[in-house]
Each structure stands twice: as structure tokens, then as C-alpha cells.
């Protein structure tokens, strides 16, 4: 086990940089950029970049994460603006493999997510009204 230490830099109430120091040596930086509405649009680190795109209603519509590969995640909402699906594809397999996806449902006021991953199969979680795992 090793320790890491983190330093946070904020500007106008928004996180603009995270700096992690690792006990075994080395460090990483994450730099954050926001649009005029205060939404995160770019996160850059030593090893990856994530861009976020928003729809006309201001909801997150797509993220593009680039490290060794490129990962695109699309977000779908219902008529009430509630997130109901995330679908992720990558260029790992030339965009031809099965996407990972998560479907969200609400039953009896409890939110349930069902995720499918080619490598991990299916996982289902139910959350309480506070957003934590249902106990």
C-alpha cells in the first residue's frame, strides 16, 4: 500500500487543478476548464483528456475520453430530463465491438441501474432516496 497526497486549486468556486503526489514518486496534474455556464467542458491530465458536450437543454450529451484509446459515451434522457441510458463505445476494437451500456429505471421511487459490459457481464444496483446503495 502506498500513500498519495492531493492539492486542490479553486477559482471562483470551481476546481481548476488537482495535483496528486505519490509516495513511490511521481505526481499527476488534472486541469479543469468550464464554459460560461460553469459546466465542465475539459479535463486534462498527464495521461488523458476528457471533453464534455451538452445539449440545447444544458444536459450532458456526450463525453470523449482520450488516453491510449478513444472512448465516446452518449447520454439519453426522458421527457422529464432524467438520465435513462449511457452507452460507451471505444476505438479499442475499431468501433466494432459491443458497447457497454447502463440503463436507469425508477420503480417505487427507487432508482435501479443495470449495466452491461462485454468483459464483466451484467450488474444491477438499486439506490435509496439519498442516492446511496439500498440496504
pLDDT given for residue 134 in this prediction: 59
The Cα–Cα gap between 69 and 90 comes to 7
Contacts of 14 (CB under 8 A, 6+ apart): 32, 34, 38
pLDDT given for residue 121 in this prediction: 83
Task: Give the global pTM.
Answer: 0.81
CATH 2.60.40 fits 48-135, yes or no: no
The Cα–Cα gap between 15 and 74 comes to 24
Positions of the chain with pLDDT under 70 = 1, 93-95, 129-135
Helix (H, G, I), strand (E, B) or coil at 92: helix
**Domain spans of the chain, in order of start:** 1-41, 48-135
Amino acid at each position: 500500500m502506498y500513500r498519495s497526497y492531493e492539492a486542490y486549486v479553486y477559482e471562483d468556486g470551481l476546481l481548476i487543478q488537482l495535483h496528486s503526489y505519490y509516495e513511490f514518486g511521481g505526481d499527476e496534474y488534472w486541469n479543469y476548464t468550464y464554459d460560461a455556464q460553469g459546466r465542465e467542458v475539459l479535463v486534462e491530465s498527464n495521461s488523458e483528456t476528457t471533453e464534455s458536450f451538452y445539449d440545447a437543454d444544458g444536459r450532458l450529451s456526450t463525453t470523449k475520453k482520450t488516453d491510449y484509446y478513444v472512448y465516446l459515451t452518449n447520454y439519453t434522457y426522458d421527457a422529464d430530463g432524467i438520465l435513462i441510458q449511457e452507452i460507451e463505445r471505444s476505438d479499442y476494437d475499431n468501433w466494432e465491438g459491443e458497447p457497454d451500456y447502463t440503463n436507469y429505471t425508477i420503480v417505487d421511487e427507487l432508482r435501479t441501474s443495470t449495466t452491461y459490459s462485454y468483459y464483466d457481464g451484467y450488474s444491477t444496483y438499486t439506490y435509496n432516496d439519498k442516492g446511496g446503495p439500498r440496504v
